[in-house]
Homo-oligomer: A and B are copies of this chain.
Amino acid sequence: MRLNERQSAEIEELRQAQPTATRRPVAPALEEILFQALPVLDHGFVRVVDYMGDDAAVVQAARVSYGKGTRKVSDDRGLIRYLMRHRHTSPFEMCEIKLHVKLPIFIARQWIRHRTAAVNEYSARYSVLDDELYLPEPEGVAAQAVNNRQGRGGALDPDAAEAVRQAIRDSGEAAFRCYHELLNADAEGQPLDPERSGVARELARVVLPLSTYTQWYWKTDLHNLLHFVALRLDPHAQAEIRAYAQVIAEIVQRWVPITFEAFTDYRLNAMELSGPALAILRRMLGGEKVTVEDSGLSPREWRELMDALAV
């Protein structure tokens, strides 16, 4: 269950509250979805809890302005694209966003590697975790990739995939039963056996699987958020974290559309050509027919280059 009734009601109350007046920059398209739980995976979500700044704030900081600091829209767009192209990162650090994220623990462990962020996680030492586990969709159940030691290969056939899902579900449910036995408490917190005392929460939780959902408040700046999106939208990232990065990319697009466009052109769709690759390219543009053998590149780099150039 993504949200229980009480949680939905609390969010709804905030969304229905009378807006307040502010002189700070406001991003209207982001205000629209403020506080909403945008669904990710089977039980997860991303909610924008607060934000600071907008596209104009990037421009304003780059110009160290007294007032708005912005000029014509085309000038501002040009400056933002210039900053992105030349990797001037500090003006993009001047916008900030705070998200509430619900996510499986194995994804949380990848996410937390992004160190330039503030985090408050729901504490399983202090509170009892809900019985919620991530279960992949049938089409996400894939074999180990053969040519990529850390990725997934083709999807399993439907019956095999369903058997995998059943095994993950059974294993998780058994773990949660054990968790409640250890706590000596049911899902509502009532003692299972009034005669005995439960084990400390910080200890009982060690039996829970990595697919258990946790949640946190996570706050970072726009520059580091874009870095997160670029790394986690990459095809080499695990599918489950890509799903979160996809939703965050849509949030960024609402928040700072001009920055997002520049990011798409100069990061997402960009490619870094190494010195040796550039040399080959110059030869090709000069009309020479270059082969992998006389390229000086490893076969793998050659293939990556040819794929990128679609030749």
| A268 cross-chain contacts in B, Cβ below 8 A | 275
A52 within 8 A of B: yes
Q: Are A67 and B23 in contact (CB under 8 A)?
A: no
A292 within 8 A of B: no
Q: Are B98 and A52 in contact (CB under 8 A)?
A: yes
Number of copies: 4
| A61 cross-chain contacts in B, Cβ below 8 A | 98, 120, 217
A44 within 8 A of B: no
A14 within 8 A of B: yes
Q: Are B150 and A202 in contact (CB under 8 A)?
A: yes
A residues with CB within 8 A of B = 3, 6-7, 9-11, 13-15, 17, 19-26, 31, 34-35, 49-53, 57, 60-62, 64-68, 78, 85-86, 90-91, 93-94, 96, 98, 100, 104-106, 108-109, 112-113, 115-116, 118-123, 125-126, 134, 136, 140-145, 149-153, 156, 160, 164, 167-168, 170-172, 174-175, 178, 181-183, 196-203, 205-212, 215-217, 219, 221, 236, 238, 264-266, 268-278, 281-282, 284-286, 298, 301, 308-311
